[in-house]
């Protein structure tokens, strides 16, 4: 069976790492009908936006996309193309597995975590008012009338909405993920409810209510700062973590640092009707076009995509081939080579790394 997938190469190193990813996926024998769509800085002159409507239409039709990193041009009205895609398709669950790889250069060798981050609200909802805006004065008066301590007149304001419905759906998604993937150590809801009693308190209350429906999965909760300390001391104490948007962004990058950095960390953004897969790192324009970027995160994101498409055997073969290539250590990119030996001597390029992965596909 062939699968229709939108491929958004992106900019910077995006075209290089997506080319490597595409070659690896095709080498598995899975039939993909790639619908290549351009987005980002390179289309601004032609369309006046980094995210043209026809790209959105293509993703809406296939309901599955994989993308390279995209640099959002300054002054477009977009906070970022990634955020625009998540909002347009209501991709409410950001899922980032963090799994140790051979020679990843980290302090730990057996990390196996999954971060499930709510993707649509919290401080990242984008409800902000600049210092001096009339709304700031109105909000100040509202706060004062409520009997709470008001804020300085020269403040800028961000509003943090946390809803019952969106908290419930992300926690339910995390529990279903843990059950489906056989995660053994359970699920941790991460929060700051000791201080943010209304917003984070709501998130925690809903998480506890949902947990009662999953007695087969161990549940606990932990304050976000204590979680960060625990992760860097002993990441094996954790398994699946579910977090509101801002904490999820920070903690997912922290966990990526436990497994060699963002170059090793795949990601997906999942909605009820659509899924977009992507490496979690940036576009690295300083090394674009040099064939030195590490495509591991993009290739592993493709493995997540194949799982989503029901091609689990091919997905597992890709993960095994990546691990074998890194473990062998003979055909790895410069960042990995440096982590393994302290020098980039003997490193290979982006496409040569993909060749090695392809050679290891069983």
Q: What is the pLDDT of residues 277-306, one digit of tens each?
A: 999 899 999 999 999 999 999 999 999 999
Mean pLDDT calculated for residue range 180-190: 93
Q: How far apart are CA 63 and CA 92, in angstroms?
A: 14
Q: In this predicted structure, what is the pLDDT of residue 211?
A: 97
Share of the chain above pLDDT 90, in %: 86
273 φ/ψ angles, rounded to the nearest 5 degrees: -125, -5
Instruction: Provide φ and ψ at 328, rounded to 5°.
Output: -65, -40
pLDDT of residue 82: 87
pLDDT, position 104: 83
Please provide the average confidence, as pLDDT, over all residues in the chain.
94
74 pLDDT band, cuts 50/70/90, is low
Alpha-carbon span 232 to 108, nearest angstrom: 9
Residue 107: per-residue pLDDT: 87
Per-residue pLDDT for 92 more than 70? yes
The stretch 17-40 carries a mean pLDDT of: 97
Q: Are 224 and 200 in contact (CB under 8 A)?
A: no
Residue 353 contacts by C-beta under 8 Å, 6 or more apart in sequence?
Answer: 20, 294, 295, 296, 325, 331, 332, 333
Q: How confident is the model at residue 80 (pLDDT cuts 50, 70, 90)?
A: confident
Residue pair 66/307 in contact (Cβ under 8 Å)? The answer is: no
Lowest-confidence segment of 124-133, 210-219, 308-317 by average pLDDT: 124-133
Q: What is the mean pLDDT of residues 84-101?
A: 95
User: Average pLDDT, stretch 202-223?
Assistant: 97
Q: Using CA atoms, how far apart are residues 87 and 101, in angstroms rounded to an integer?
A: 32
How many whole angstroms separate alpha carbon 360 and alpha carbon 278?
A: 23
Q: Which two tokens stand for residue 287?
A: 């090394």
Phi, psi of 166 (to 5 degrees): -75, -30
- Rounded Cα gap, residues 247 and 252, in angstroms: 8
**Tally of CA atoms within 13 A in the half-sphere of 362 that contains its CB:** 11
Query: Does residue 102 sit in helix, strand or coil?
Result: coil
Q: How crowded is residue 49: how many other Cβ atoms within 10 Å of its Cβ?
A: 17
Task: Output helix, strand, coil percentages for the chain, rounded to the nearest 5.
Answer: 45, 15, 40
pLDDT band at 41 (very low <50, low <70, confident <90, very high): confident
User: What is the distance between the alpha carbons of residues 188 and 108, in angstroms, rounded to a whole number?
Assistant: 21
pLDDT attached to residue 121: 95
Q: Residue 171 has what pLDDT?
A: 98
Region label for 341, one of left (φ > 0), alpha (ψ between -120 and 50) or beta (otherwise): alpha
What are the beta bridge partners of residue 278? 67, 267
Give, as one character, the DSSP assignment of residue 65: E
Mean pLDDT for 153-166 is 96
What is the arithmetic mean of pLDDT over 162-177? 98
Compare 75 and 94 and report the one with higher pLDDT: 94
Over residues 179-189, the mean pLDDT reads 93
How far is CA 124 from its chain centroid?
14
What is the mean predicted confidence (pLDDT) over 334-362?
93
Tell me the mean pLDDT in the region 220-230: 98
**36-62 mean pLDDT:** 93
Nearest Cα neighbor of 227 from 198, 193, 259 is: 193
pLDDT score for 105: 83
- Asked whether residue 77 carries a pLDDT value surpassing 70, the answer given is no
Q: What one-character DSSP code corresponds to residue 271?
A: -
Choice between 40 and 311, residue whose per-residue pLDDT is larger? 311
Mean pLDDT of 78-106: 89
Q: Which residues are catalytic?
A: 124, 192, 225, 249
pLDDT of 2 above 60: yes
Let me know: does 213 contact 240? Beta carbons within 8 Å.
Answer: no
* φ/ψ of residue 242, rounded to 5: -120, 130
DSSP 84: H
Q: What is the per-residue pLDDT for 185? A: 87
Predicted local distance difference test score (pLDDT) of residue 76: 54
Q: What average pLDDT does range 39-54 have in this prediction? A: 89
- Counting beta carbons within 10 angstroms of the beta carbon of residue 92, is it exposed (0 to 12), middle (13 to 18) or buried (19 or more)? buried
Of the CA atoms within 13 Å of residue 84, those in its CB half-sphere come to 19
Distant-in-sequence, close-in-space partners of 273: CB < 8 Å, separation ≥ 6: 63, 89
Q: Residue 75: pLDDT band by 50, 70, 90 thresholds? A: low
């Amino acid at each position: 069976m062939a699968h229709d997938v939108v491929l958004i190469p992106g900019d910077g190193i995006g075209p290089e790492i997506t080319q490597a990813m595409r070659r690896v996926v095709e080498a598995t024998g899975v039939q993909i009908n790639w619908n290549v769509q351009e987005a980002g800085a390179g289309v601004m002159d032609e369309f006046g936006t980094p995210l043209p409507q026809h790209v959105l239409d293509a993703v809406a039709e296939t309901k599955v996309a994989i993308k390279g990193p995209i640099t959002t041009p300054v002054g477009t009205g977009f906070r970022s193309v990634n955020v625009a895609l998540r909002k347009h398709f209501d991709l409410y669950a950001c899922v980032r597995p963090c799994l140790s790889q051979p020679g990843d250069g980290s302090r730990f060798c057996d990390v196996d975590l999954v971060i499930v981050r709510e993707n649509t609200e919290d401080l990242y909802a984008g409800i902000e008012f600049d210092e001096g805006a009339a709304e700031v004065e109105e909000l100040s008066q509202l706060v004062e009338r409520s009997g709470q301590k008001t804020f300085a007149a020269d403040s800028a304001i961000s509003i943090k909405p946390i809803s019952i419905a969106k908290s419930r759906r992300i926690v339910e998604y995390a529990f279903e993920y843990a059950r489906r993937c056989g995660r053994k150590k359970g699920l941790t809801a991460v929060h700051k409810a000791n201080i943010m009693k209304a917003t984070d308190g709501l998130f925690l209350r809903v998480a506890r209510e949902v947990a009662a429906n999953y007695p087969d999965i161990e549940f606990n909760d932990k304050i976000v700062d204590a979680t960060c300390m625990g992760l860097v001391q002993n990441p094996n104490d954790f398994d699946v973590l579910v977090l509101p948007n801002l904490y999820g962004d920070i903690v997912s990058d922290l966990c990526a640092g436990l497994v060699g950095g963002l170059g090793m960390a795949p990601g997906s953004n999942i909605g009820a009707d659509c899924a977009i897969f992507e490496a979690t790192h940036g576009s690295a324009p300083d090394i674009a076009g040099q064939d030195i970027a590490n495509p591991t995160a993009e290739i592993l994101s493709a493995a997540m995509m194949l799982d989503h498409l029901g091609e689990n055997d091919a997905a597992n073969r890709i993960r095994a081939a990546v691990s074998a290539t890194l473990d062998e250590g003979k055909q790895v990119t410069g960042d990995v080579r440096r982590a393994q030996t302290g020098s980039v001597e003997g490193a290979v390029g982006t496409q040569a790394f993909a060749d090695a992965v392809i050679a290891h596909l069983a």
